[in-house]
Structure 1
């Protein structure tokens, strides 16, 4: 994967020398809120779901990381020596390249690495703005549909294995409200509900 992102032989040598590959199973948590950030993850295979969690355990979904992508939150925390403010969960069986935090800054001497990190900040910022817009300017049904579409894209399937409670937890709302919305969406032929599964129907 690295040779598809980077071409600088010196950077590739450093990646081989310092980085470690970690395999995470579906639903495993790679990073927890409050963890000291020891590495910056670059997804090689699979998908990671990034969720913001407050001190009371309330969560809100932020974005997914796909192969070749890294987490701007983790980079920011390691640069500012702060503990993690997010949870990173494996959406599917995944493989992650772990870059030690003590060399992240040093690698800015490589133009490709600097461009990669700057591009990451830009992409994640745009995704966060989309989340904020959904929360601030749209009804909950728009938020739920966006969430389901993102989860569907992440697992590359119209069938999503998830409970109403899990959706409520990651959208920071009540299960009863989610269940009512999903039933309404089913009546409108947007989704089809099953036992702990939701099928996204063609628009």
Structure 2
């Protein structure tokens, strides 16, 4: 049963489980597959079971910025917003990895929000958590220099137990909503300072303390 794979349904009532089994459908998407475009309607709500989804915006210049990722047993806050407000999706979504998810028709999901506490609580949880992340992303883009944003990203992406991040300059630029040239210039400066070393598709942290100092005034944003 699909329900047994979803932790949030561990304490669901019999009525909640019956409704889930009746309407939930398992779907799989290939890595790199476009899942949604800005302006799309939202025909279903979903819970990711395996893989990762990237949710992002594209500016008028064509530059991308990552808003957040949706990982296993999570749902997309903007999809929930789209369904509940019955407005178009305000972002793009792509399968970052091979993606397996369970989908629920949006009409049924709206009913479940009213009837079933497990889905109401899940929705409020993702709303409260993700909206804070989105606001933090907007603040960083609006108020931080590129070098500060790169330092913050590296510190947050790599726990102290790791010192190598597999990421291209192009992908890092998309994460931060800036240009590849700008990211490369910053990383080259960091390398010159001895803070990082660069190899093809990888960034090696050499001086975590220096990066933390660069990021220290921004990590609380």
TM-score bin (small chain): 0.7 to 0.9
- The SS at the match of 1:104 is helix
Structure 1 residues 64-119: Cα deviation after superposition (integer angstroms, max 9, x where no partner): 11111111111111222222221222222221111211111100211111111001
* Counterpart contact for 2:6–2:73, Cα < 8 Å: no
Q: Structure 2 length normalisation: TM-score? A: 0.77
Corresponding residue to 1:47 among 46, 52, 55: 52
* Counterpart contact for 2:57–2:91, Cα < 8 Å: yes
- The SS at the match of 1:23 is strand
Please say which of residues 78-87 and 99-108 is displaced more in the overlay: 78-87
1:65 aligns with 2:62: no
The residue correspondences of 1:15-164 to structure 2 (distance < 5 A) are: 15-54=20-59, 57-108=62-113, 109-147=115-153, 158-162=164-168, 164=169
Tell me: CA distance 1:73–1:64, structure 2 relative to 1, closer, same or farther (3 Å).
Answer: same
Which sections of structure 1, spanning at least 5 residues, go unmatched? none
Q: Distance in 1 between matches of 2:197 and 2:203?
A: 5
Q: Which residue is equivalent to 1:198? A: 202
Q: Which residue is equivalent to 1:185? A: 190
Corresponding residue to 2:172 among 161, 167, 178: 167
* Counterpart contact for 1:37–1:101, Cα < 8 Å: yes
Q: Distance in 2 between matches of 1:105 and 1:82?
A: 13
Bigger radius of gyration, 1 or 2? 2
Shift of 1:150: 6.3
Which sections of structure 2, spanning at least 5 residues, go unmatched? 209-221
* Counterpart contact for 2:28–2:101, Cα < 8 Å: yes
Please say which of residues 99-108 and 169-178 is displaced more in the overlay: 169-178
Corresponding residue to 1:13 among 13, 18, 32: 18
Cα root mean square deviation, aligned: 2.6
